[in-house]
Amino acid sequence: MFNKRIHYLKMRKESVIIHLLIIAIFLRMTPGFGNSVGKDDILMVVGDREVSKVEFQRLWEKNHQYTEGQSLKEYLELFMDFQLKVAYARDEGIHLETSFMNELSGYRKNLAASYLRDPEMKERLMNEAYERLLYVVNASHILVRLSPESNPDDTLKAWDKALQIRKRIKDGERFDKVARATSDDPSAKTNSGNIGYFTAFQMIYPFETYAYQAEIGELSMPVRTSFGYHIIRVNDRKKSRGEIKVAHIMTGFNRYDEEEAKEVAHNIYDKLAEGASFNLLEEKHSTDDRAGEGGELPWFGVGRIVPEFEEAAFALEKPGDISVPVRTDYGWHIIKLIDTKDIPPFDELKPEIRNNIINSSDHNQLIQDALVKRLKQEWNFSENRSALETFYRIVDESIFNGSWTPPPALPLNQVLFSVTGKKVTQREFAEFIAENAPGQKPGPVDAYIYSLYREFVNKWLISHEEANLEKKYPEFRFLMNEYKEGMLLFEIMEREVWSRAIDDSTGLEMFHEKRKDDYMWDYRVSASIFSTEDSRIARRAERRANRSLRSDRRDENWIIDRLNRRSEEDVITVEKGVFSRGDNQLTDRIEWEEGVSEIFEKGDRYRIVLVNRIIEPEPKTLDETRGQVIADYQDYLEKIWLESLREKYNVTINRDVLSQIR
């Protein structure tokens, strides 16, 4: 992030931050990193900023892998320049600007997220998910819908209803019949409660967990999810076949009526059985949008496509096998198996599994609960239940319309709970209640107060943990300091170097004028390249080009106008320009001298080159080399600026400490 990386940092600020986040996550999962940092010796002082040996060595070791051959001495020089710029940025007060603090706060929040999850629980859930991905489950269910905010009375009614439904099945009624009659899942009317095969992450987590743990044929007690209570029966469980790739011919209901679609599909199937080409029949008859592309579908696994299609596709055993016509809600399908692939190894799937867990509210709740449990132990959490009972007496149903306020006569100064070095009083919880009152009644007041208390404790502990990350995790402190100093460097370089070099047009022109011999064209050639598909036209163009040289009439239009005159379309075209070595393959192949080249044939084109003149080396104009001049001017401004910073700030290095770094 020092001088050699300035232009990269300017263009890729967000990428640098993301890269640091990835490193942070890696360090978070590396055991013992934080414990290795003790009280550090001071390596360097820049102005009033002290840099420890551990801080410098950490950066040296991390960046050394990207700077092959760079010595410690060279890196130390770059590091000093970096610290000088950051010192100046601090003196300019950039770190106190609102926009800077907001941006840094956003980075800190992203970085802190990986620390505010329980890593052991997350790892356990990831391994559990992978083990489940190796199998597929077929299950049926009956839903008794219940909102997550339902009060205890409604919850009890839903529970009793689910038990009554379960009893009907236990007493001998068929599951499918009861599902069609009682389930609040609309699909039960057509699928009789059978939701087909699925695997991990395709069902809500409590439902998935029961389905993977229950015995085949077992009828569950009511299982609560955010949708309500489920009566679940596991019909089958088997090893996953991974993913498959298929093609299909579809006779869709968007073109045919029911009977006609079926008849056309069976006629196609008969022709396939007689040896007709699948691709030709697909191109001619399929109503799928992919018609003409072989009817190929993207790779898919279980639970990704309509059940009837999926079941028929996975029943095919080897590539090339073709199914009998299969009906879905979209039409009739004839399916051909193209290829199969197994579930990838855990390490390959790990990023995808991690993302699925992060995006799952149920998984996140388990991870958060595990975190809170650990934090209570680490922060020596203790609570005073008698102080909580006060709220059962003073809070009434006005809380449900948001009008409740604590009685003014009550001090509410009892300690509700405490952690190491901090006590939380009733007053803080009262304020939390007032701020989080719902707009509807979720149940009895006492039950709601207790649920709010648990939420308050959890949020308080996580907030307390987040506020202490720098103290608790040295690697977090180091990374936040890197973020901050990297942002300071970016902002001060933008103001002192990059923007100045672009905005200072007069200075840029003077800089170019003084150094114009540094921006030279090499030898170039002014040439006309003629191109045609007709070899006879190419030979005529060659003759006319030679005549133009002899008559000193070097006008490419004179050469092509006569050749194009008898045709409605141009039979020959010309490209005129000034070419350097490497600009054009043809001008690179010829001798650079005035004259006409041989005819070059490539594919169905014939080309000749007319060299008009050779251009001697000359300085480039500012417009011709503006990008390079701006970059060099930035380097010049930075050099002058650094010289002034070395005069402004005193830099001292402890050579004894430096000698300990390898």
Single-letter amino acid, residue 508: L
In this model, does residue 412 exceed pLDDT 80? yes
**pLDDT > 70 fraction of the chain, expressed in percent and rounded:** 92
In this model, does residue 333 exceed pLDDT 70? yes
Beta bridge partners of 316: none
Q: Which pTM does this prediction carry?
A: 0.68
Q: How far apart are CA 494 and CA 502, in angstroms?
A: 10
**Residue range 550-573: average pLDDT?**
78
In the 3-class helix/strand/coil scheme, how is 117-173 assigned residue by residue? CCHHHHHHHHHHHHHHHCEEEEEEEEEEECCCCCCHHHHHHHHHHHHHHHHHHHCCC
Beta bridge partners of 234: 139
Single-letter amino acid, residue 236: D
Highest-scoring range by mean pLDDT, 74-78, 419-423, 459-463: 459-463
Query: What are the DSSP calls for 12-63, one per residue?
Result: -HHHHHHHHHHHHHHHHTSTTTGGG--SPPEEEEETTEEEEHHHHHHHHHHH
Q: How far apart are CA 503 and CA 634, in angstroms?
A: 11
Res. 221 pLDDT band, cuts 50 70 90: very high
pLDDT value of position 66: 67
Query: What fold, for 1-115+485-519+625-662?
Result: Triger factor/SurA peptide-binding fold (1.10.4030)
Query: What fold, for 135-239?
Result: Chitinase A; domain 3 (3.10.50)
Q: How far is CA 116 from CA 109, 459, 464, in A?
A: 10, 11, 11
pLDDT value of position 144: 97
Res. 291 pLDDT band, cuts 50 70 90: low
pLDDT value of position 554: 59
pLDDT value of position 439: 62
pLDDT value of position 440: 63
Res. 292 pLDDT band, cuts 50 70 90: low
pLDDT value of position 616: 95
In this model, does residue 32 exceed pLDDT 90? no
Average pLDDT, the chain: 88
pLDDT value of position 402: 80
Res. 11 pLDDT band, cuts 50 70 90: very low
Single-letter amino acid, residue 176: D
From first CA to last CA, the distance across the chain in angstroms is: 20
pLDDT value of position 67: 64
Where do we find the tokens 């038990």?
Answer: 163
In this model, does residue 9 exceed pLDDT 70? no
Res. 71 pLDDT band, cuts 50 70 90: confident
The radius of gyration of the chain's CA atoms, rounded to the nearest angstrom, is: 38
pLDDT tens across 260-289, in order?
999 999 999 999 999 999 999 998 889 987
pLDDT tens across 475-496, in order?
999 999 999 999 999 999 999 9
Q: Which of the pair, 53 or 443, is modelled with greater confidence?
A: 53
Q: Which of the pair, 438 or 22, is modelled with greater confidence?
A: 438
**Residue range 529-536: average pLDDT?**
93
CB neighbours of residue 278 within 10 Å: 19
Query: What fold, for 243-341?
Result: Chitinase A; domain 3 (3.10.50)
Instruction: Extract the tokens encoding 219.
Output: 């009828």
Task: Please state which of the ranges 345-354, 524-533, 564-573, 649-658 shows the lowest mean pLDDT.
Answer: 564-573
Q: Is the dihedral of CA 513, 516, 517, 518 positive or negative?
A: positive
**Residue range 419-448: average pLDDT?**
85
Instruction: Extract the tokens encoding 542.
Output: 């060659």
pLDDT value of position 290: 67
**pLDDT > 90 fraction of the chain, expressed in percent and rounded:** 70
In this model, does residue 25 exceed pLDDT 80? no
pLDDT tens across 126-143, in order?
999 999 999 999 999 999
pLDDT tens across 227-249, in order?
999 999 999 999 998 999 999 99
pLDDT tens across 600-624, in order?
998 889 999 999 899 999 999 999 9
Are the beta carbons of 2 and 80 closer than 8 angstroms?
A: no
pLDDT value of position 23: 39
In this model, does residue 40 exceed pLDDT 60? no
